[in-house]
Amino acid sequence: MTHFVIIGAGECGARAAFALREKGYDGEITLIGSETLVPYERPPLSKAGDEEAAGPKFIAKVERYAESGISLLTGITVQHLNPEAKSVTLSDGRAVAYDKVLLTTGARARMLQDIGVGSKHIRSLRTHADAVALRKVMVPGKHIVVIGGGFIGLELAATARALGTDVTVLEGLERVLKRGVPEEVAEVICERHSLEGVDIRCGVAIAAMKEEDERAVIQLADGNMIEADLVLVGIGATPNTELAVDAGLKIDNGIAVDEFLRTSAADIYAAGDCCSFPLAIYGGRRVRLESWRNAQEQGALAAANMMGLGEAVSAVPWFWSDQYDVTLQIAGLAEGAVRHLRRDLGDGAFILFHLDQAGRLLAASGIGRGNAVARDIRLAEMLIAVRAHPDPAALVASSVKLKSLLAA
Ligand SMILES: Cc1cc2nc3c(=O)[nH]c(=O)nc-3n(C[C@H](O)[C@H](O)[C@H](O)COP(=O)(O)OP(=O)(O)OC[C@H]3O[C@@H](n4cnc5c(N)ncnc54)[C@H](O)[C@@H]3O)c2cc1C
């Protein structure tokens, strides 16, 4: 019987294991994860209010793994991957042989170099344990400083405000969400945070951080000091590539895979946050995505390719973020866009369409309350997938249904 081993029991690894069964693979499956919890969803960690709501929200009940014939090993780290011997070495000393292996090792939160990190009052947010530790400070009268105006930091800021905690956000660049969100959309988010009482400071450099009397003290480069009950460092994530590096696999902003999610070594695949892959719809440009839907889709795609089904990556990148009652959705990649057209959807909601020189729709960014932009972003995603060159006048006219552009 063949044995497929999946390293990393997060969103992508768990989805891949179930997808193998759904697609009819009848060999052995071992899913190995460092975390002690059964695989769970990460998005609620920054969005949900109290400790209970923050989860863990399990991807599947623990019984389902056994019922599906998936050997789930939690609290076990794979320490070594040997492509020649086709085996992995586990942290409990065992060696496990494989026929094919999938790396879904994800990413970890980046930390600031050389300034008092990893301490009780200076934390990051990637795991359920991180979320629980943060929730303990998210109460009225406490003050949290978020370093980095990215998605996770801003989502946590919104959640903390809803719980009555004071929040200051420190961003090094001139505005928040500089990576991946157009200014017009970022402004809406920034205004909403200000309205809710979040103190957002941009263009700020941090000189040092230390812990004093159960508090964190941040010294800014301009000489100002800020005290906090807790500092959340939200400055992005780094792919977990150590095993792949050790095994001699090609690395290029993550574990480099081809359109079938194959690494540079035979019978070794990678998927999700840990890998970079070529996107055919953008001329084969290599990207690494840190997104929930990408992790799900690539889990299923890796399963198909491990079974020899030969399915290439074709999905359009898609990402969402919830802050207060506002939802932001982005489909596609806007790099290379020269024209940005706005379609108003009412009640303050709008979508920006990003087009290249030739008028091809590259991406769409939408923001609005609740589900206001969901349907149109979905249609934009379909237009992007077919490499459409929609009529600019029709894109901005909210009276013209996007569906009609798809038919055209
Ligand atoms: C707080 C938070 C909020 C988010 N919100 C959104 C959102 O709103 N929208 C969105 O699109 N995306 C969001 N994301 C991103 C999304 O959750 C990730 O893209 C997704 O979890 C990636 O799945 P993955 O399986 O590739 O990696 P991960 O979920 O990181 O899982 C990888 C797993 O592998 C384990 N592992 C690593 N190395 C080893 C090893 N050697 N041996 C064994 N196990 C190992 C890790 O411990 C981890 O459990 C959010 C992420 C976070 C952290």
Tens-digit pLDDT profile for residues 282-327: 999 999 999 999 999 999 999 999 999 999 999 999 999 999 999 9
Ligand 1 atom with least separation from CA of 156: 1
Per-residue pLDDT, 296? 98
Both structure tokens of 47: 């969005």
| Separation of CA 288 and ligand 1 centre (Å) | 13
Banded model confidence at residue 40, pLDDT cuts 50, 70, 90: very high
Ligand 1 close to Cβ of residue 33 (< 6 A): yes
Contact (Cβ atoms closer than 8 angstroms) between residue 392 and residue 341: yes
Helix or strand (DSSP H, E) at 187: helix 183-195
Angle at 53 between CA 294 and CA 16, to 5 degrees: 25
**Secondary structure of 108-160 in HEC code, one letter for each residue:** EECCCCCCCCCCCCEECCCCHHHHHHHHHHCCCCCEEEEECCCHHHHHHHHHH
| Separation of CA 340 and ligand 1 centre (Å) | 32
Banded model confidence at residue 368, pLDDT cuts 50, 70, 90: very high
Tens-digit pLDDT profile for residues 206-254: 998 888 888 999 999 999 999 999 999 999 999 999 999 999 999 999 9
Per-residue pLDDT, 179? 83
| Separation of CA 109 and ligand 1 centre (Å) | 10
- In 3D space, the residue among 108, 366, 129 whose CA is nearest the CA of residue 234 turns out to be 108
Ligand 1 atom with least separation from CA of 125: 1
Contact (Cβ atoms closer than 8 angstroms) between residue 259 and residue 278: yes
| Separation of CA 144 and ligand 1 centre (Å) | 24
Ligand 1 close to Cβ of residue 35 (< 6 A): yes
Kindly report whether the peptide bond that precedes residue 392 is cis, defined as omega within 30 degrees of 0: no
Ligand 1 close to Cβ of residue 290 (< 6 A): yes
Domains of the chain and any CATH numbers: 3-108+238-306 (3.50.50.60), 111-233 (3.50.50.60), 325-407 (3.30.390.30)
| Separation of CA 298 and ligand 1 centre (Å) | 13
pLDDT mean across residues, the chain: 95
Tens-digit pLDDT profile for residues 392-402: 999 999 999 99
